[in-house]
């Protein structure tokens, strides 16, 4: 009896492409890209360079879905939307290499895709994979490009691989210049930033440890505990100081949020939407691990990540609790500080969350605005007299930011903003997510 090709060892070069393909399949079925990639890398361990290739290939193909579908529509006999999903995602893996990875020879991009088709239950369609990708390779080598729409909004959406309705919405809300910049920034590879835990180490010591390990790192100018990795380093838990709790991963923009709350040692502080815990642990560090930091979230599974992060960082003042932050009557008037890092459209983090653009609909933002308003109203009632609340999002949409705060102040005229709101915009060629945050008090 012949051997089952699906049970044979994966030849060199196929591993990272197989991981990327499976991630695209999972995302197509509704999974989150980062969780799908994490799962597949556990399922098929790869060497550091192959992990990097799988990550770049998966995230790149997810971001560029519209462009890749455009090539399928142009070259295939069946439009992309009618392709069998597994075939469509495998062709995306091959096309992404041809279009965006100069270091991968066209022959390798085509050959590995064909071999995967043969080994992964798509053998009858292997000739389709071979023919279409070879045609694409010839067209790309000849300098051919897809034809873009003439309308500027439709052209931007197509060329930057974003939903038409989303670009139309941003164009109306933000204007052409900021929409173009945001669209371009949404397709850049995000930075990997770290926040040093000053209770267990120092920025200088962490920088020295990374440098000694041969890793290129640099301090972040505007964050006293911030560090940026200048290269893709492989599995983060294997880097110096991770297991000892010397640092955690947190984007440079997100590192600016917790200090706005001005938490002090001994205070009682609530992070009302805490998972996965980056800001909760930052608050605990600023409190010098003295007092109580209640990390609340409505998803019990996500709270496991908060607990794991706090334990690794040695932050014993963090207590986790499952709960709905729109309905906390038993906790009203009990906190010195409240952080509302609310669920939002995530438009400032489209580069980091490659799949997020495809999960948004025209109904998403109005639904989120209603939820955010309810969180603000309940959060205000949780504060002690003279306390401080920080409202934060990782979006750039005015309805979720400036307009949301204006509506809150209209409902609560005794409240006021402390200082200027923090507005951070994703910028092409510059690291950092987009964020909005404002501190509110009721004197």
* Cα 85 to Cα 26, 44, 80, 422, distances in angstroms: 11, 22, 9, 42
Task: Quote the DSSP letter at residue 138.
Answer: H
Task: Say if CB 19 and CB 44 are below 8 A apart.
Answer: yes
Q: Please check whether residue 100 is in contact with residue 39, taking contact to mean a CB–CB distance below 8 angstroms.
A: no
Counting every residue written for the chain, the total comes to: 443
d(CA 176, CA 155): 12
Pair of tokens at residue 97 = 């290499």
Helix (H) / strand (E) element for 304: namely: helix 300-313
Helix (H, G, I), strand (E, B) or coil at 130: helix
Q: In what order do the strands lie in the sheet with 268-271?
A: 318-322, 292-297, 268-271, 335-341, 383-393, 435-441, 416-424
394 as an active site residue: the answer is: yes
Strand order in the sheet with 217-219: 217-219, 226-229, 192-196, 247-249
Beta strands 435-441; 318-322: pairing state:
unpaired
Contact of 194 with 227, CB cutoff 8 Å: yes
Decide: helix, strand or coil at residue 388. strand
Identified catalytic residue from 273, 317, 344, 394: 394
CA end-to-end span of the chain, whole Å?
A: 81
The DSSP code for 427 is: B
Catalytic residues: 394
């Amino acid at each position: 009896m012949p051997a089952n090709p699906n049970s044979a060892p994966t030849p060199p070069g196929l591993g990272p492409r197989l991981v990327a393909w499976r991630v695209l399949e999972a995302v197509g079925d509704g999974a989150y890209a980062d969780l799908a990639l994490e799962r597949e890398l556990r399922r098929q361990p790869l060497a550091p360079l192959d992990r990097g290739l799988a990550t770049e290939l998966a995230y790149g193909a997810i971001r560029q879905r519209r462009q890749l579908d455009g090539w399928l529509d142009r070259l295939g006999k069946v439009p992309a939307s009618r392709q069998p999903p597994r075939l469509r995602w495998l062709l995306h893996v091959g096309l992404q290499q041809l279009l965006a990875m100069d270091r991968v020879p066209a022959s390798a991009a085509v050959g590995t895709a064909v071999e995967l088709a043969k080994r992964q239950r798509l053998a009858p369609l292997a000739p389709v994979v071979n023919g279409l990708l070879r045609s694409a390779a010839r067209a790309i080598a000849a300098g051919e490009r897809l034809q873009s729409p003439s309308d500027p909004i439709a052209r931007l959406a197509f060329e930057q691989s974003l939903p038409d309705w989303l670009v139309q919405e941003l164009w109306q809300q933000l204007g052409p210049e900021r929409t173009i910049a945001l669209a371009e920034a949404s397709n850049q590879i995000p930075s990997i930033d770290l926040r040093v835990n000053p209770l267990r180490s120092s920025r200088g010591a962490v920088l020295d440890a990374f440098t000694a390990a041969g890793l290129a790192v640099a301090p972040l100018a505007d964050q006293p505990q911030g560090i940026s990795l200048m290269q893709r380093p492989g599995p983060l838990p294997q880097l110096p100081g991770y297991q000892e709790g010397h640092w955690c991963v947190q984007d440079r923009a997100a590192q600016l949020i917790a200090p706005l709350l001005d938490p002090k040692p001994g205070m009682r502080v609530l992070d009302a939407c805490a998972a996965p815990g980056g800001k909760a642990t930052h608050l605990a560090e600023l409190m010098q691990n003295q007092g109580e930091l209640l990390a609340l979230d409505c998803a019990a599974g996500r709270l496991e990540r908060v607990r794991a992060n706090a334990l690794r960082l040695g932050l014993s003042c963090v207590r986790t609790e499952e709960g709905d932050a729109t309905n906390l009557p038993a906790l009203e008037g009990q906190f010195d500080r409240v952080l509302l890092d609310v669920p939002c459209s995530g438009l400032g983090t489209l580069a980091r969350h490659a799949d997020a653009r495809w999960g948004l609909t025209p109904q998403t933002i109005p639904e989120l605005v209603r939820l955010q308003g309810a969180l603000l109203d309940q959060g205000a009632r949780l504060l002690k007299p003279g306390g401080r609340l920080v409202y934060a999002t990782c979006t750039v949409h005015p309805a979720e930011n400036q307009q949301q705060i204006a509506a809150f102040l209209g409902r609560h005229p005794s409240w006021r903003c402390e200082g200027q709101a923090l507005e951070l915009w994703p910028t092409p060629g510059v690291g950092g997510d987009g964020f909005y945050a404002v501190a509110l008090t009721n004197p």
